[in-house]
A and B are shown apart, each in its own frame.
Chain A
Amino acid sequence: MKVVAKRPEALTDVRLTYCPGCLHGVAHRIIAESVDELGIKERTIGIAPVGCAVFAYRFFACDMVQVPHGRAPAVATGMRRARPGAIVFTYQGDGDLAAIGTAETVHSANRNENISVFFINNAVYGMTGGQMAPTTLPGMRATTSPYGRDVSDTGFPMRVCEMLATLEMPNYIERVSLLSPKEIVKAKKAVKKALKYTMEGRGFSFVEMISTCPTNWGLDPVSSREWARENMLPVFPPGLFKDRSAGAKPGAEKE
């Protein structure tokens, strides 16, 4: 008998508590598979945000710390400075990373802090029940934008990759999507690259994953992906924004 598929070692046996059709499970899986493939489970510290993924500390089988809302990159900074040998990643949603934690995101990127930041963008606050996020689309309804997001009142959705890419220092910035198997394969490559860069001490790696929220969008899993493709990807186009280590030889790392 040959094992063709199994649960990654870097995930615990705890059953995921995310909603049906939610893509957090996919994001968790590709991170865990990458950790396994790189053989770094025992050197990795994951940081769980506040938001739906707050329970990530239960799901990953590497060391996990659950931290205040938006502060994950600051905590990661403290960890990397204390334990340079640790591979630290944060896992954050759009409210955590692009609203309350904007300063921590921007400044850790600007310091080229040697961490991986995984950003799950689904244009809505999930855990608190569907409120407007900094990435909510123009005209999109949320419980706190019940008449649709009015950009003249609440601003345009923030494109974090583009914003961070204006900084001189960050090492690697890429936006991917999780909307189809093909896109997921590509997303995994980005995640693995980020972790590899962290292993090699190359600095700040940032992977934004365009995701869905069937529950708060009021759509079924399949149509939520279609909706995201039609509406989110034009505002948040996938692509590579920065890869300063591309082609660099291992050993030419920062530290």
Chain B
Amino acid sequence: MGEKILMKGNEAVAEAAIRAGCRHYFAYPITPQNELVEYMAKRMPKVNGTFLQAESELAAINMVLGAAACGVRAMTSSSSPGISLKQEGISYIAACRLPAVIVNVTRGGPGLGNIAPMMCDYFQATRGGGHGDYYTPVLCPSTVQEFADHAPLAFEIAERYLTPVLILADGLLGQMMEPVEFPEKTPVPKDQSDWCVGPWEGKRTSHHVINSLFIVPEDLEEKTRILFEVYEEIKKNEIRYETYNMESNPSLVVAAAGTAARVTKSAIDELKAEGIEVGLVRPITLWPFPSEAVAKAASGAKKMLVIELNMGQMVEDIRLAVSGACPVEFAGKAGGVVFTPEDIAALIKEKM
């Protein structure tokens, strides 16, 4: 690790992506992730990389598709409405089994919503997002450091399983500055020569085809079966989560991700000082979802409280995981209003 630098999340993830070997970045401006686009515009030419401001989100994700098809580390980023536009391309990238990284610095919705930090794209992110039977791994950081750490991790997962990987951070994490340290290591690129396209004189004997059209139902069924075998592997190997104060055997456990989780941690500390023990389980991968960890956290609790910056999305995955082992209650805020630690502490006391 190098020295600590005070950086915005948007800039930290951009720098981390470049250090992870990403040299192809295509995007379209949208608040609150413009610093990411601007950082790439400034840095990419200095590392002989490609920065291109695309004419639309649709074009940007398809430029990523093209670059990824050629076997290079490619990335795009946007915020909620822009990610909706990218879903077409994400579905194709998933179907074509191409590695790519997409950053969503979310904002308030639906519609144009606002630019405040809201985590209302959970469903979209964790259910595939576009058309078709597929998923994308979703990483959900809660600090600027973690946001940066997720860039190389996202490329590693993308290349290991040949899948698009989403980093889902809210606008708060994009805009705020925190100290960040960058790892020295760059993920080792996998050999992609057995599928990627590009000049192949002397390297292979036949052309490659990258395609997502399988007109015969049995062929598409077989392709989908293989895709879901990969998803099983991802579920086996890539689930990540964190627990906090669970060693205190708390009777109430909060489940929260991203910004909501970090605010909850402060609330838990405040309550601990008052002699009230509360636990936290924080999914880091939103897909695959850490269902077992949530179930385990619920098994010793009298109640689970799900806190989200939306009207209740992750709570559905929590209820599936808890499966009736204890009551699950929900508290959310919409519109980009963010809980303070005091809000959450009061909420917890009320629910206990």
- Please indicate whether A and B come from the same complex rather than being unrelated chains: yes
Residues of B within 8 A of A55 (CB): 213
* Contact A74 B58, CB 8 Å, known A43-B199, A64-B207: yes
- CB distance B52 to A81 under 8 Å? yes
Residues of A within 8 A of B94 (CB): none
A45 interface contact, C-beta 8 A: yes
Q: Which residues of A are interface residues toward B (Cβ below 8 A)?
A: 41-43, 45, 48, 54-55, 57-58, 60-68, 71, 74-83, 85-86, 103-104, 106-107
- CB distance B92 to A42 under 8 Å? no
The listed residue (B65, B96, B213) touching A78 by CB distance below 8 A is: B65
Secondary structure type dominating chain B contacts: mixed
How close is A7's CB to chain B, nearest CB, in angstroms?
15
- CB distance A74 to B199 under 8 Å? no
- The list of the 10 closest CB pairs from A to B, nearest first, reads A78-B66, A78-B63, A74-B62, A75-B66, A63-B197, A107-B55, A78-B67, A82-B70, A71-B62, A74-B59
Q: CA–CA, A79 to B55, complex, Å?
A: 16
- CB distance B207 to A74 under 8 Å? no
Secondary structure type dominating chain A contacts: helix
Contacts across chains A and B counted by CB atoms under 8 Å: 135
Q: CA–CA, A177 to B183, complex, Å?
A: 58
Q: Which residues of B are interface residues toward A (Cβ below 8 A)?
A: 24, 26, 50, 52, 54-56, 58-60, 62-72, 74, 88-89, 92, 96, 197-201, 207-213
- CB distance B62 to A82 under 8 Å? no
* Contact A71 B59, CB 8 Å, known A63-B207, A65-B69, A82-B70: yes
The listed residue (A43, A57, A77, A83) touching B209 by CB distance below 8 A is: A57
Q: CA–CA, A10 to B49, complex, Å?
A: 32
The listed residue (A48, A63, A104) touching B55 by CB distance below 8 A is: A104
Residues of B within 8 A of A76 (CB): 66
Q: CA–CA, A79 to B70, complex, Å?
A: 6
The listed residue (A61, A66, A86, A103) touching B199 by CB distance below 8 A is: A86
Q: CA–CA, A60 to B209, complex, Å?
A: 10
